[in-house]
């Protein structure tokens, strides 16, 4: 039975194994392992400086870990030492990972000189080589999906923060990624605008999207994630289902964090 399960077990979308990352003498990640299967929504929580965002940036190689393995859709990143630094050996593999692993940042990062629709379709046109008419139709569909279909011809400066973040989510979806990374997607927003973005993320979770979400919002983590990881000083202090982590933890550090966050 175990052998059959091993044979038929689906390949995880993202595997991070024993990830170490330092900046000079500062060791930010001290050996983190995370596996995200298709449809998993993993919330990374923890205090500022615990390594959450750094781990997310290592997943799509915006940061290069000094040690550990990154495996995306079953293919391992191969490394070489170059000028006393570790670098991936295959730039094409890096591009493939970034193309299929869309990231939504805290500060939106929309292009100010492009309309919202142009922001959404730029990468599908330039990176994926999509037909312009098809890309535009899909872009409009995605902007409707996130609730700002009437803003296609507006520029980012004409939108609220919540609308800009929803546009950034539509832009990420336009690449039709295998998984999505969210780095504090609501932390720059007022509570009213935050609710707009949370609704979109909850909708994506219900669709079965594979997502890794760094968040300070414990309610969001509890509501959308099927797995919670609590990082403390570069290590996984606690992980498990939302019920286990939020209601049955034995970790004093996690209890203190949740209390300070107003989650308990």
For 124-145, write each residue's pLDDT tens digit. Answer: 999 999 999 999 999 999 999 9
- Mean pLDDT value across the chain: 93
Give domain status of residue 219, yes or no: yes
Give domain status of residue 23, yes or no: yes
Is 45:52 a contact under the CB 8 Å cutoff?
yes
Q: pTM of the full predicted structure?
A: 0.92
CATH of the domain at 241: 3.40.50.300
Is 205:36 a contact under the CB 8 Å cutoff?
no
Q: How many other C-beta atoms can be found within 10 angstroms of the C-beta atom of residue 96?
A: 14
Q: What domain range includes position 109?
A: 12-260
For 20-37, write each residue's pLDDT tens digit. Answer: 999 999 999 999 999 999
pLDDT score of 93 more than 60: yes
Give domain status of residue 6, yes or no: no
Residue 174, token pair as written in the block:
């336009």
pLDDT over 70, % of the chain: 96
Give domain status of residue 58, yes or no: yes
Give domain status of residue 87, yes or no: yes
| Residue in 58, 16, 62 with CA at minimum distance from that of residue 35 | 16
At residue 243, the pLDDT reads 95
Work out the pLDDT band at 83, boundaries 50, 70, 90.
confident
For 98-117, write each residue's pLDDT tens digit. Answer: 999 999 998 888 999 999 99
User: 132-145 and 161-173 helices cross at what angle (nearest 10)?
Assistant: 130
d(CA 168, CA 186): 12
At residue 264, the pLDDT reads 61
At residue 263, the pLDDT reads 66
Work out the pLDDT band at 38, boundaries 50, 70, 90.
very high
Cα 227 off chain centre by: 14
Residue 33, token pair as written in the block:
């392992």
Token pair 């312009």 in the structure block, residue: 132
d(CA 157, CA 128): 27
If one counts the domains in the chain, the total is 1
For 173-194, write each residue's pLDDT tens digit. Answer: 999 999 999 999 988 788 888 8
Average confidence (pLDDT) over 56-83: 94
Give domain status of residue 1, yes or no: no
Cα 131 off chain centre by: 27
pLDDT score of 1 more than 50: no
Give domain status of residue 121, yes or no: yes
d(CA 12, CA 99): 17
pLDDT score of 257 more than 70: yes
Give domain status of residue 120, yes or no: yes
């Amino acid at each position: 039975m175990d052998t059959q399960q091993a044979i038929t077990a689906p390949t995880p979308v993202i595997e991070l194994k024993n990830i170490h990352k330092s900046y000079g003498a500062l060791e930010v990640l001290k050996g983190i392992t995370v596996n995200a299967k298709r449809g998993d929504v993993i919330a990374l929580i923890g205090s500022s400086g615990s390594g959450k965002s750094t781990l997310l940036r290592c997943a799509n190689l915006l940061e290069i870990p000094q040690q550990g393995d990154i495996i995306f859709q079953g293919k391992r990143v191969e490394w070489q030492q170059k000028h006393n630094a570790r670098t991936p050996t295959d730039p094409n593999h890096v591009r493939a990972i970034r193309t299929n692993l869309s990231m939504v940042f805290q500060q939106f990062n929309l292009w100010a000189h492009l309309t919202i629709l142009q922001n959404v379709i730029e990468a599908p046109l330039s990176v994926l080589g999509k037909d312009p008419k098809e890309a535009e139709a899909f872009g409009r569909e995605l902007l409707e999906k996130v609730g700002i279909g009437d803003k296609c011809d507006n520029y980012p400066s004409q939108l609220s923060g919540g609308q800009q973040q929803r546009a950034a989510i539509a832009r990420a979806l336009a690449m039709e990624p295998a998984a999505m990374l969210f780095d504090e997607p609501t932390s720059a927003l007022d509570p009213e605008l935050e609710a707009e973005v949370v609704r979109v993320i909850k909708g994506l979770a219900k669709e079965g999207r594979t997502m890794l979400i760094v968040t300070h919002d414990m309610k969001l983590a509890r509501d959308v994630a099927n797995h919670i990881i609590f990082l403390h000083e570069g290590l996984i202090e606690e992980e498990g289902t939302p019920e286990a982590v939020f209601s049955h933890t034995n970790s004093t550090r996690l209890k203190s964090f949740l209390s300070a966050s107003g989650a308990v």
